[in-house]
Structure 1
Amino acid sequence: MPQTSEKIAVIGIGDDGIGAASPTVRQRILDAQLVLGSDRALKLLPEECQAERRVLSADLEDVAAQLESVGSRRAVVLIFGDPMFYGLARYVTEKIGKDRFDVVPHVSSMQLAFARVMESWDEAYLTNLANHPLEAILERIRTAQKVGLFTSPAQPPNRVAEALLAKGIDYFHAYVCENLGARDERVTRGTLDEIAAQTFASLNVMILVRQPNAPDRPRDAIGRRLFGNPDEAFLHSKPKQGLTTSAEVRALALAQMDIAAGSIVWDIGAGSGSVSIEAAQIARDGAAYAVEMDPEDHGLIKQNAERFDVGNLIAVLGKAPDAFNDLPDPDAVFIAGGGREVARICTAAFERLRPGGRLVVNLIAINNLAELYEQMGAASHNCRVMMVNISEGADQLGRLSFESLKPSFLLSVVKP
């Protein structure tokens, strides 16, 4: 029978090494034939540990290769804090397989930080700036009550504070917790202005706590909605004024697209970019690609993206479907179509759509709708159509009346 490989133990430790570990965990480390970890972690091993010691690579792909080469040896990986909380174990268990590992957590530095400042963290927004650009998470911070950040050498606490202040997000008390668990541990409390003027040790956690009764957003952004913004909030080229997807239809379309935080979205024939901008705001950890063949509108998309402070929108100048070649496969696609090419464009987009993804098309002409419904219905059993016919109340000589907006159709199809 083939020899079964030992499970690799991924064990969390603190700055006190294995001294604080339970007797069972301590013995597992001492019995190991191979111990992997950072140079700092390996130096904490006692002399009685006779295992081969190997420094883990800083590159995750190399780490996976190191662990795959362990073979049948009894191996231990030492990680500071909780290996599953923004730690290495999350990556390697998915890369190599969960059945190859045992994970033993230690108190996370994030837990320690919140304990030091006497704040609960069960509803805090937590993230790691080593994996997420600061610009991509500013909107999440803006609306949060509490925030916990693993900072990085490229994005230390003072730069975080500077970036928040530059966006008008000035309503947080800030704490920087350095070298948690070590003898030189230090906790600094201050305003963002005060934190921006200081430097800190590289090992730190930054906590932000919203001041009581602070508004959710900077004053100059009051009235901005996640989706369904008024049509006049977007810049348009004057000859095409009124050709944008209306706020009412846009809201329905975005709901049908079922966009998640990490979605990749295509907006084909983006015009002024109203749909792709709001899609980007919803897909805050993903990206929206606004494809537009008109150079003037392409420029307007960029202006509107800047106006709405959307950093994850990519304006693509090109004609569909040729412009699809260099785009990543989407989770959701929106097409505003009325011309003869709409069926061909929809087919090309549907082919690139990821399984389970959604294609939503806004049409005005009923003859285009019938053709597209037959085509998409043959491609998926989950194809539906709705007619959007909305009337808006208006005052006429002191009496309430209703004026109909131009009716249109929304076709949505889910890829099997």
Structure 2
Amino acid sequence: MADRVTVIGWDGSPLGPTARAALKAATLVAGAPRHLDLPEVPPHAERVRLGSLAPAAARIAAHRGSAVVLADGDPGFFGVVRALRDPAHGLEVEVVPAVSAVSAAFARAGMPWDDARVVVATQRTLRRAVNVCRAHPKVAVLTSPGAGPAEIALLLGDVHRTFVICESLGTEREQVSVLTSDTVVQRRWTDPNLVIVVGGTGVSGGDGWLAGLDPAAAGHRGWGLEPAAYGQPLTGATPGPVPGTAPSVLPVPPSRDPRLRALQLAALGPRVGDLMWDVGVGDGLAGVEAARLGAAVIAVDRDLTTCALVAETARRHGVQVEVRHGIAPEVLPALPEPDVVRIGGGGHRTLVACADRRPQRLVTHALTRDQAEAAGRVLGGAGYEVRCTLVQTVELETRAWTEQGRGVAFLLVGSRPTALP
């Protein structure tokens, strides 16, 4: 049985002496058809076409002789090396890398890529890959059949991006095309290809220090911050003091309470690859903070002034928030599938419509116990596990220790069993 395998990266350049020597001694060579047609592959060697990596790795491990695997670019970067290093195979892996497809694509485009996100799009991960393209200003997508440029553009819908599409990198058929996302679906694309998706808020410049870092990640520390941290005025207090307190003490509307927002975000857990709906946005900061955490966000509100405020706050802080002006639930059917949903307003029909889309998690709030019980019944009837917590916040002015504001709300969280992508 083979206990050692040499993995050779190929970027279209002539193979070096180490790679040629390994191929000359090989009794088994695995790779895509384009790799197996290379003149350096010995005619006497057994040839294995790489499809599903796990069965191929098992076959290589069972081979009696010298095994070589040919792969595009750097095989340690989203490549075959991970499958071969599975302890079950007992293989010692030697890697002879080449220039990665991502590095080559950005070189063709003349762009730096230390600030880019890199994702793999398969038919299983396509939606999450597209959500990354919604949320981040520069994304390299390693595509696959059925999850290529056209499918990415279709799922992006009205989100405008520029596509740099690199086909057959390193071969004589190499072609690099630059198009807007609305025109990508009008052409057929050759596999293999890689897509650089660029645009929106926050294309970074200057010196970076962490690969894949978005500008918003270097902004304010923490989340659940006061509106003033995002340049918004302290708005939203309703007239009239809290009963039994000094006349200056005003209630804080739940949709604008930063402490409640922090609890909502903690319950939702928005992450890279997720799409969050923020329906009835209040001050819009839940969506902005979810975008800072890496999620794609669609904010929906009936008020044009609120929509403009959310768009401006997101732009100022370098995050992508897609703002939809409309009345829920009527506007919701046109939106792409959410992973998590925050409902800050919209009433019973909106809650029903959101639950019907079956997001992984959903949060909302109620002002009375009766309202909380009614919302809990909707979520429970839709198959969610429901938790309800009475949240009370009291803001104190610390020089005189006087009460300045108070918020009280029932926080409802609906969750489904976790499903990993």
TM-score by length of 2: 0.54
Residues 1:197 and 2:186 are matched in the alignment: yes
Gap regions ≥5 residues in structure 2:
204-222, 228-235, 237-251, 275-279, 297-327, 342-359, 370-385, 413-421
Which whole-Å deviations, capped at 9, do the CAs of 1:348-374 have from their partners, x for residues lacking one?
Answer: xxxxxxxxxxxx97644xxxxxxxxxx
Residues 1:107 and 2:99 are matched in the alignment: yes
Query: 1:138-149 alignment to 2 at 5 Å?
Result: 138-149=130-141
SS of alignment partner, residue 405 of structure 1: strand
- Are residues 47 and 67 of structure 1, via their aligned partners in 2, closer, same or farther at CA, if it must alter by over 3 Å? closer
Query: 1:17-416 alignment to 2 at 5 Å?
Result: 20-46=14-40, 48=42, 50-56=44-50, 58-70=51-63, 73-94=65-86, 96=88, 100-130=92-122, 133-164=125-156, 166-167=157-158, 169-170=159-160, 172-210=161-199, 248-253=258-263, 259=269, 261=271, 309-313=336-340, 363-364=389-390, 389-391=393-395, 402-406=404-408
Distance 1:313 1:211 in 2: 22
Which whole-Å deviations, capped at 9, do the CAs of 1:108-128 have from their partners, x for residues lacking one?
Answer: 222211111111111112212
SS of alignment partner, residue 261 of structure 1: coil
Q: Which is bigger in relative contact order (C-alpha 8 A, separation at least 6)? A: 2
- Contact kept in structure 1, 2:140 and 2:196, CA below 8 Å: yes
Distance 1:43 1:283 in 2: 42
Distance 1:303 1:229 in 2: 31
Which whole-Å deviations, capped at 9, do the CAs of 1:230-276 have from their partners, x for residues lacking one?
Answer: 9x9xxxxxxxxx99998545433356669473799xxxxxxx9x9xx
Q: Root-mean-square deviation (CA), in Å?
A: 5.2
SS of alignment partner, residue 390 of structure 1: strand
Partner of 1:14: 11
- Contact kept in structure 2, 1:37 and 1:54, CA below 8 Å: yes
Gap regions ≥5 residues in structure 1:
215-225, 233-241, 265-271, 286-300, 315-329, 339-359, 365-386, 394-399, 411-416
Distance 1:120 1:392 in 2: 48
- Contact kept in structure 2, 1:12 and 1:104, CA below 8 Å: yes
Which whole-Å deviations, capped at 9, do the CAs of 1:272-297 have from their partners, x for residues lacking one?
Answer: 9x9xx989986959xxxxxxxxxxxx
- Are residues 38 and 335 of structure 1, via their aligned partners in 2, closer, same or farther at CA, if it must alter by over 3 Å? same
Distance 2:105 2:273 in 1: 31
- Contact kept in structure 1, 2:116 and 2:140, CA below 8 Å: yes
TM-score by length of 1: 0.55
- Contact kept in structure 1, 2:150 and 2:185, CA below 8 Å: yes
- Are residues 104 and 261 of structure 1, via their aligned partners in 2, closer, same or farther at CA, if it must alter by over 3 Å? farther
Question: Deviation at 1:106?
Answer: 1.5
